[in-house]
Structure 1
Amino acid sequence: MPRRCLTALLAAVSTVLLVLAGPAHLSGIARASAAPPAQSVTVRVLPQLAATGVLPEPAASALSTVTATFAPVVPGRDAVLEAKSGKKWAVVARSAQDAAGRVAFNAPYLYGGAPATYRVVAPRTSTHAQATSAEGRTDAWRAPIFSDEFSGSALASPWDHRYQGYDVPSRRCSRTDASATKVSGGVLALSVIDDLARDDLCTFTAGGVEQSTFYRLNGHVGTQGRFAYKYGVAAARIRFQDARGQHGAFWMQPAGTGYGAEIDVAEWFGTGSQGLVNGVWDYSSGTQTRVAGGVMADQAAYGSDWAGTYHVFSVEWTPTEYVFRIDGREVLRTTAGVAQTEEYLILSLLVANYEANKLPSPESLPQTMNVDWVRVWQR
């Protein structure tokens, strides 16, 4: 074959091979450079659930909580909270998405003197397009249906003392007494004090061992028969007691008919104890059974100095789940034991049998749990 013809034939074959290989080669490039799926983001503006400090503060000064959920999840990706300012958006705070694609911010209820409008943005990167949420307003929950800042000088309705004597099996050595509850300076003070009317010893069994200790009086109040609600957000700003031997709590019990549960928003067992506890107890079988919660994991991640600093403890209760938070940060989410009837509020500082001997003498008293305010919101 002449060289000229051979050269032409080779050129033609090369062209055919390039044509055949081209689409696959190009599709490979397209696959390698394809951007990952764009994230979507859903934003929720919750009530004013964050207010940390050592002094009482007006409930209206608490920060609103803004949560965002991104999908698909990109852990560690930046998230920016922006507030609407006229026709522009101003950066308020920055954070990062967690392993579940969630992020939470605490931000002022007011911006520019009016209820704030917020959105959450994941800025554009070299690998991800910008993701922007819809707008959410801080007044979406409207005014609370219940709000008490304890501004008077005495316990007022709808609160009342939960009078319980020494006959409560789990609290043989203490009883409720109004003298252990005081209202002053915008604070409800619930205390454990020495029962001066009893100079004998209380004998009880704990852990299968018979023991004895001195008698005490408890601060223990609730809204049973005067206020209850079904679904919403309940929050209390609390500074707990220091010593062991009693536990402070913000909790709820069923007020109506149908399925109810004990909702322990927060319990504290004193400095040096297991720490904070929350959860849900099921009453339906006739035997009290914990179905969710327990000792809170990684407590230092949510705050510190529970006995010296006020924190807001809250629960968001829907028909299908509970979300427990400390200063707006989620600590427990569960669908177990969701109550379907109204619940009333309880605040208490109680001495149970199993902890009674952890306080060695009356000289260690009083121990006091301070409550700055309590609020309940419904949408």
Structure 2
Amino acid sequence: MKRFFLKIFLALTLIFSGNSYAQDLPVSTETDTLFYDDFSGTSLDREKWNVIGTDFWVNNEQQVYVDSTATIFTVEGADAKGAENALVLKAHYSPSFITFRGNDFDFISGRIDTRDKVMFTYGTAAARMKLPKGSGFWPAFWALGGGDWPETGEIDIMEYVGETDWIGVALHGPGYSGETPLVNKYFFPEGEDVTDWHVYSVEWTPEGFDFKVDGRLIYRVTKPMVEHYGKWAFDNPKFLILNLALGGAYPYKTNGVEEPYKGIPASTVELIKEGKAEVLIDWVLIRK
């Protein structure tokens, strides 16, 4: 079934790219697949992924990342909620877990990346994901350059901050970082939202980017659009990141919540305590 969904995604990529002969073409080849993980093992594959720990903190997020099977683990069967098996990034309420840089953190969560293990320049990056309902959750699927930010660029393939009817995509680089003008929201059709399984992807070329949801084009950015604001920072290798943040800058700008935590309302704290703060990832793919 997992391979079926992957083949459907690859076929849709061809169809929505305007290829009327997509049905006659092979949907996948071994030679163009740079990276693939379907999380079918009993734990995260450390040959493919790095795990971020407690010495990392950005964006005024309200959680600290922990390398633990409580926050990063694989599931199968009914626990995979519609997939055969999946990776779970899960947040927990853990009062006064750690004090770091003068901040007390009451939440723990998971973040992984492929830095120095799988880096790629141009191609398609995609992930099939199921996201949680709750204002202030901030999961993301994205890519960074290996050097200083924002000089080596950032590609936000999917960001969600708790409004279930939309996700965001964006580019950041020198002259267009932070409040970047290169950003777009995708609103799901009626009857769909982020709590369903969706494939989030980007096609990256020397000429620009096509951001897609379920193979459907939602935003295009060309190189001249980028260079209108600053230097093109997308001719260098990037690594993939998957994380579940809580609160912080982007959720706060969206929901305006001050208490009990910046960007996290009391209702979402209850969801976290009830074990409902989790992101499921069916598979991740990079094709050249």
Task: Tell me what 2:236 maps to.
Answer: 341
Task: Tell me what 2:265 maps to.
Answer: 359
TM-aligned CA distance change 1:319 to 1:246, over 3 Å:
same
Give how far 1:140 is off: 6.9
Answer yes or no: is 1:195 the counterpart of 2:83: no
Task: Tell me what 2:51 maps to.
Answer: 161
Q: Percent identity?
A: 22
Give how far 1:293 is off: 1.6
SS of aligned partner of 1:170: coil
Task: Indicate if the aligned counterparts of 1:314 and 1:324 stay in contact, CA closer than 8 A.
Answer: yes
Give how far 1:292 is off: 1.1
Answer yes or no: is 1:312 the counterpart of 2:222: no
Give how far 1:319 is off: 0.6
Give how far 1:329 is off: 0.5
- After superposition, give the CA deviation of every residue in 1:162-210 in whole Å (9 maximum; x if it has no partner): 2244753522x3100123111122211011211245499xx98xxxxxx
Map 1:168-179 to 2 at 5 A: 168=58, 170-171=60-61, 173-178=62-67, 179=70
Give how far 1:233 is off: 0.5
Answer yes or no: is 1:372 the counterpart of 2:282: yes
- After superposition, give the CA deviation of every residue in 1:55-79 in whole Å (9 maximum; x if it has no partner): x733544341224788xxxxxxxxx
- Superposed structure 1 runs of 4+ greater than 6 Å apart: none
SS of aligned partner of 1:265: strand
Larger radius of gyration: 1
Map 1:319-334 to 2 at 5 A: 319-334=206-221
Q: TM-score, normalised by structure 2?
A: 0.74
Task: Indicate if the aligned counterparts of 1:321 and 1:338 stay in contact, CA closer than 8 A.
Answer: no
TM-aligned CA distance change 1:196 to 1:152, over 3 Å:
farther
Task: Tell me what 2:127 maps to.
Answer: 236
Task: Tell me what 1:90 maps to.
Answer: none
Give how far 1:279 is off: 1.1
Task: Indicate if the aligned counterparts of 2:211 and 2:220 stay in contact, CA closer than 8 A.
Answer: yes
- Count of equivalent residues: 249
SS of aligned partner of 1:62: helix
Which letter maps to 1:160?
Answer: N
SS of aligned partner of 1:341: coil
Over the residues paired in the alignment, what is the CA RMSD in angstroms? 3.4
TM-aligned CA distance change 1:236 to 1:369, over 3 Å:
same
List alignment gaps of at least 5 residues for structure 2.
Answer: 77-84, 227-231, 252-261
Q: TM-score, normalised by structure 1?
A: 0.58
Higher strand share: 1
SS of aligned partner of 2:110: strand
Task: Tell me what 1:74 maps to.
Answer: none
Which letter maps to 2:90?
Answer: S
In structure 1, how many angstroms separate the alpha carbons of the residues matched to 2:55 and 2:135? 22
Answer yes or no: is 1:148 the counterpart of 2:37: yes
Task: Tell me what 1:182 maps to.
Answer: 73
